[in-house]
Amino acid sequence: MKKIFKIIGAIALVLILSVAAFLYFSSKPLPEGEAGIKAEALTDKIQTAINQKAWDSTAAIAFTFRGIHHYVWDKKQNLVQVKWDDTKVIYNNKTLEGVAYKNNKPLTENDKTAVIKKANDYFNNDSFWLIAPFKLRDAGTTRSIVIQDNQEALLITYASGGSTPGDSYLWFVDQNYMPKAWQMWVSIIPVGGIETSWDDWQNFANGLKIATNHKGLFDLKLENVKTGQTIEEVNEGVNPFTVL
């Protein structure tokens, strides 16, 4: 028995050392960029390519993240419905006030607070994989140019907002200025500079473009993406926010 424990311990040690080595050799330092006219010009070109104006005028969105989190979002009113497992949460993502259900039974005032926060954390993370290219000029962002492989890349740092302020993203674009990948320096990932693709771009109303697939160290897929001007338009004629 002692021999078995020694073998298990040796395997665990090898795994720990392997992970530590991966983190050490894979991590990249956050690059320094140059803010100014060039950074703003590249931002303009990206926003034109993805049709920022169409996104700004979109009122309602529905999507599924990784097949497990299901969203309906009233962007104009800051209202979100999140469903996962046996849980449904309907709330205001600015005030974090709303209602929560388990197995279709409403939670008490005390119990729902933590569930709404969990739903909001899901929403902040999952929606970012849908709309990050439209947040290049959010309040609290800084933009700068970084030269990699003789090409301009756009470094965005978020000083505030979401669940993890302080995160940075280096955007790479194709010849048409469509985002094709980014590298991330984020608090929830211990490795700096992990790269993930932005692909499977789909066209929506008024020329809006949204990427629905991300490949990298981990792959993320967004499905059932719908956009519109009313909640009923994206949610099979139903407005879940009448309960608020």
Please, what are the averages of pLDDT over each run of 10 residues along the chain (244 residues)? 43 37 62 96 98 98 98 98 98 97 95 97 96 96 94 91 74 98 91 95 97 93 98 98 96
Residue 14 resides in a domain: no
User: Across-strand partners of 227?
Assistant: 61
pLDDT at 161: 56
Other beta carbons within 10 angstroms of residue 15's beta carbon come to 10
pLDDT in tens, 165-197: 689 999 999 999 999 999 999 988 888 999 999
- Reference 46, options 157, 171, 141; nearest CA is 171
Q: How many residues are listed for the chain in this entry?
A: 244
Cα–Cα distance for residue pair 182/174, rounded to 1 Å:
12
pLDDT at 187: 86
Residue 201 resides in a domain: yes
User: What is the tally of structural domains in the chain?
Assistant: 1
Residue 225 resides in a domain: yes
Give the N- to C-terminal CA distance of the chain in Å, as an integer: 60
pLDDT in tens, 87-100: 999 999 999 999 99
Residue 199 resides in a domain: yes
Residue 56 resides in a domain: yes
Alpha-carbon torsion, ordered 65, 71, 73, 78, to 10 deg: -90
Residue 183 resides in a domain: yes
pLDDT at 53: 98
pLDDT at 120: 97
Residue 16 resides in a domain: no
pLDDT at 18: 37
Residue 12 resides in a domain: no
pLDDT at 225: 98
Domain residues for the domain of 105 are: 30-243
